Chains A and B, each alone.
Chain A
Amino acid sequence: MRREYDIDLLIRKFKEKDKIALARLISIIENHPEKASDIFKNFNHIKHDSYIIGITGSPGVGKSTLTGAIAKRLLKEGKSIGVISVDPTSPFSGGAFLGDRVRMTEVSLDPNIFIRSLASRGYRGGISRAVLDITLLYEAFGMDFIIIETVGVGQSEFEIYNLAYTIIVVMVPGYGDAIQMQKAGIIEIGDIYDVNKKDLGGADIAAHIDMMLDDSTFQGGWRPPIVQTNSITGDGVDELIENIWDHKEHIELSDLLSEKKKIRFAYKIKELLYYKIDIVLESLINQDELNHITTKALENKFQIYDLVHDLFSDVKFERKSKS
């Protein structure tokens, strides 16, 4: 069994708001990034922007349930939503157990929502390579909102910062003390902090975040609010939504939104450039050579910089002049 996808037919269906076509275009983009331009060239006339919300935090803090709870309220207001939920790919088998959608069953049949689970497929930073491309597909589809839910992250996986306009960092009771809050990384990127699982406490965590914010400067003029929620019962979610609206308004009225959009595309452009350079590199340096210098490094580990330098001694990068 093997399905063949015809891009032109899918694009026609996509423009009629067909979800099957949207799902299949996502698969093509995820599996064949080289075909992205064939797809996107059909959307050049579309000017629609979606508002992108990022939800991040450690594994098990309730990101998926919270995504479902936020989506439920946005749907009630008549908004259309595209959800992207990322879970990790196994470094051993290459497989993945994607268990985010199961938390959103309640909203899954609403005609105005589309939910896609993605495996990270070796990409770092808590997302997958295809995430930005899929946000573009959702924008072309006309979604009002996009919610990106990251992999359960640690301290330093914050690529979501480059992709979303409002970032919600989700924490739970027992997260850590005042020292933990001073660390760089994930704790710095929140536009809104949510201490979930409110039924278990968490007022101390909220207070620690508040103290951490007291020592921060807010260049954009936005002091991140702190909310406590119970994503299962929905307690506190209305307040969280209010804060999302406030932040959205804040960045729309200042230059911050256009700044964030610039970051979003600069990030992707850089990534595409690296992707191209990777292909060039792979064509220049083969696996045998890599094995050879790895063996040499085992003989003398202090040589590693020199070995790589030598490998590049006969490589010359040059741009042809475009005349």
Chain B
Amino acid sequence: MADGKIRVLMSKPGIDGHWRGGIVISRALRDAGMELIFGGFQNVEQCVESAIQEDVDVIGLSIHSGAHFAYVKRLLDLIEEKGLTDQFMLLVGGVIPARDFSELKKMGVANVYGPGTMTKDVVEFIKENIKK
């Protein structure tokens, strides 16, 4: 029943000012027919509240500050607190060391995208896993 367009929230945790990656991916998702809500700089609470009110399928975090573990953990905790575990697909992109990928996935991140990611890979992953 939740069909229609795939809706994605693009959020930038904290005040890390590296916008470009998030904008490039957002644009690629727009061009792939998705509805992209650009959240910009958000703290954990603002990110989760946006995801709820916009009823998105995917939360994309663009992180370049090195704080990915701390932020992802707080985000997933808050999502659990709201009773929304597994309701959103969580994707993380940015300057994430390859050695951290598997740990992030274990925590509940669906996929991680480092430097050099092809935008089409992100599009395909979302389309394969969100059936609308």
Contact = CB atoms under 8 A, between A and B. Distances in A.
Contacts of A102: 38-40
Contacts of A32: 1
B39 A26 contact: no
A99 B5 CA distance: 17
A90 interface: yes
Nearest to A2: B131
Contact of A19 (B30, B40, B42, B53): B53
B62 interface: no
Contact of B38 (A4, A24, A93, A98): A98
A94 B5 contact: yes
B-side interface size class: 35 or more
Contacts of B132: 2
Interface residues of A, number: 36
A33 to B, nearest CB: 11
A31 interface: yes
Contacts of A301: none
Contacts of B89: 1
B31 A24 contact: no
Nearest to A27: B55
7 contacts: A1-B129, A31-B2, A32-B1, A94-B33, A97-B27, A98-B35, A101-B50
A119 interface: yes
Interface stretch (A109-117, A148-156, A247-255, A312-320): A109-117
B35 A119 contact: yes
B45 interface: yes
Interface string B26-50: 1101111111111111100110011
A96 B36 contact: yes
